[in-house]
Structure 1
């Protein structure tokens, strides 16, 4: 996947918008369901985008105003958030702000505005031609929050918070 994205700079055709539909766990976007476990986060695998290979993505491939939308589960969840319960939504967002999720790392690496999800995505609307929606929270790879049952979509910009 990254090799294909990196071809843009050779073609002098910058990426302005990119939507990624895939499976995901914290710090790992998998283009095959069999590669979604925690053990794939740092493994070199051409069917995954993860912390191991995201550094190979070239910022030169993306236009200055580029946008990336991640429709995979947990693309904005931090590694180690699986099965963790937060007291409030604000507490979870604060924890995401302190760490660096895959979605934020992708934003920093590409220079693009990236949207990602803490929790699960629901692909059932795709049957009727719509985009995936926010799903639930909790489970072996998703955090949960006591005051909510639905996932949260977060937006990351390429400027690192201090």
Structure 2
């Protein structure tokens, strides 16, 4: 797929050409969806090449809260679908970009109150959605395991007293966030 809009179209219609709910999608609603990609706060960067990345530069392959709002709820199994975002910072609110907090509890409390991609996807799809505040660690992927939380910090994610902390997994159901 060449753009975030094509991802939205495929999820909604099973074709990259239409954004509307198709009879094919109605007959085959989504139960599970996972995204594996680079990420910056509340954006999945499907086209990111790991060099010279500028969070302020938009690329047509960037998938954020605006694109999440284009998913159609009827494309997903009601109350049964699961979406897992294994990109870095999917649950990191844009407002927390490079912020330093006094405590891990205040980082979590602030982050859960602000809009983020995990929450936006939960609202638009009705699915239970998971993602991380901070980076995702892919080192176990070579052994057949799913990525897990890494640490906060780096260029985009928040810190506590100037130091990274373990990434925080966030689950959002019906638009309500909780840290796991």
Post-superposition offset of 1:86? 1.3
Structure 1 gap ranges (5+): none
Structure with more of its chain in strand, by fraction: 1
Q: Structure 2 residue aligned with 1:125, among 111, 118, 140?
A: 140
The structure having more radius of gyration, on CA atoms, is: 2
Q: Structure 1 residue aligned with 2:77, among 63, 69, 72?
A: 63
Runs of 4+ residues deviating >6 angstroms? none
Tell me the number of residue pairs that the alignment of Structure 1 and Structure 2 aligns.
Answer: 158
The residue that corresponds to 1:137 in the other structure is 152
- Which digits, 9 at most, give the CA deviation of each residue in 1:56-78, with x for residues without a partner? 11111000111101100000000
TM-score (norm 1): 0.88
- Which digits, 9 at most, give the CA deviation of each residue in 1:103-160, with x for residues without a partner? 1011101110000100000111111111111111112111112486210101101145
The residue that corresponds to 1:3 in the other structure is 9
Question: Are 1:44 and 1:53, in contact at CA under 8 Å, matched by a contact in 2?
Answer: no
| Rounded Cα–Cα distance in structure 1 between residues aligned with 2:67 and 2:81 | 20
The residue that corresponds to 1:21 in the other structure is 36
TM-score (norm 2): 0.80
Matches within 5 A, 1:70-81: 70-81=85-96
Question: Are 1:113 and 1:158, in contact at CA under 8 Å, matched by a contact in 2?
Answer: yes
Higher RCO, 1 vs 2 (CA within 8 Å, ≥6 residues apart)? 1
Question: Are 1:89 and 1:148, in contact at CA under 8 Å, matched by a contact in 2?
Answer: no
Post-superposition offset of 1:85? 1.3
Question: Are 1:86 and 1:92, in contact at CA under 8 Å, matched by a contact in 2?
Answer: yes
- Secondary structure of the 1:60 match is helix
| Rounded Cα–Cα distance in structure 2 between residues aligned with 1:55 and 1:137 | 26
| Rounded Cα–Cα distance in structure 2 between residues aligned with 1:54 and 1:39 | 19
Post-superposition offset of 1:7? 1.5
- After superposition, the CA RMSD in angstroms is 2.1
Asked if 1:52 corresponds to 2:66, the answer is: yes
